[in-house]
Amino acid sequence: MMNKIYPHKGDKQTIYLNSVIKDPSIIVGDYTIYNDFVSDPIHFEKNNVLYHYPINRERLIIGKFCSIACGTKFLFNCANHTLKSLSTYTFPLFYDEWNLEKSDVAKAWDNKGDIIIGNDVWIGYEAVIMAGVNIGDGAIIAAHAVVTKDVAPYTIVGGVPARPIRKRFDDGVIQKLETLKWWEWPINKIRQCLPHIINGDIDELLKYQKNEYFKR
């Protein structure tokens, strides 16, 4: 967990997200940031993680080095009125009004599972991520996208519902990045490799990793 809340001195709009999370069912990796210029980003759990109730025991898992833009919403299972019913109305939720069994309250919605965000993912302004979605490492979610299905690693998606626009790199580079998993490296090693990462030089990054291996 990060030891400080704000990456920039004097900037209260951007936070290291895992420094403010209290809910144990929300797991966030180091250096993942959230920016909010409308509301206080410290209230991420309340304002951005919605319909997230203990009854479903569902989790929000976000990897390391992700960038989450203002207004991003994570909508969990209680927002999904069941499609198994002949009615869209959530009768089981109001069990006392309709003399139904309290134990059947979960029949009011379809449970699609956890939301899992990989590492190094960029989620754009006011995007919506629905329950059960798994977003792969290095993916980009466009502003205002509504993500209802899994997103492959290093893929850019956008629209309502979100659809693939293109891959960020060719398959060869993606395979190398997935093998390297640079976000799992010690921080000092990442610092040393920043010129290669920032400049998009995958071959130099691989060369560095290879040299490190033979030094052991």
Would residue 81 show up in a list of annotated catalytic residues for this protein? yes
Between strands 128-130 and 73-75, the pairing is parallel
**Helix, strand or coil for residue 156?**
strand
d(CA 178, CA 119): 10
Paired strand residues for 151? 135
Which stretches of 5-162 are assigned E, i.e. beta strand?
A: 14-16, 26-28, 33-35, 49-50, 60-62, 67-68, 73-75, 115-117, 122-123, 128-130, 134-135, 140-141, 146-147, 155-158
In sequence order, the 6+-apart residues with CB closer than 8 A to the CB of 108 are 78, 81, 82, 90, 91, 92, 93
Q: Which of 8, 52, 81, 144 is flagged as catalytic?
A: 81
**Helix, strand or coil for residue 158?**
strand
Tokens for 171, please give them: 């398959």
**Helix, strand or coil for residue 101?**
coil
Query: Which residues are designated catalytic?
Result: 81
